[in-house]
Amino acid sequence: MLRSTFACQLSFTALLLCSGSLRQLQAQVGNDALTDTEVDQVREVADQPNERVALFRKFMDERIAHIHDVASARRIADREKQLHDLMQQFSGLADELDDNLDDYQSRHADVRKALKKLVAASEKWPAVLAEPPDNAAYSIVRENAQEAAKDIHESAQKLLDDQDAWFAKHPPKKEQPQQPLVLPR
25 occurs within a structural domain: no
Number of structural domains the chain divides into = 1
**In this predicted structure, what is the pLDDT of residue 25?**
31
185 occurs within a structural domain: no
pLDDT (tens digit per residue) in 154-178: 999 999 999 999 999 988 777 556 6
**In this predicted structure, what is the pLDDT of residue 118?**
98
Domain that holds residue 161: 35-169
63 occurs within a structural domain: yes
**In this predicted structure, what is the pLDDT of residue 36?**
95
131 occurs within a structural domain: yes
**In this predicted structure, what is the pLDDT of residue 79?**
93
In terms of Cβ atoms closer than 10 Å to its own Cβ (0-12, 13-18, 19+), residue 87 is buried
Given a cut of 50, the residues of the chain with pLDDT beneath it are: 2, 6-8, 10-30
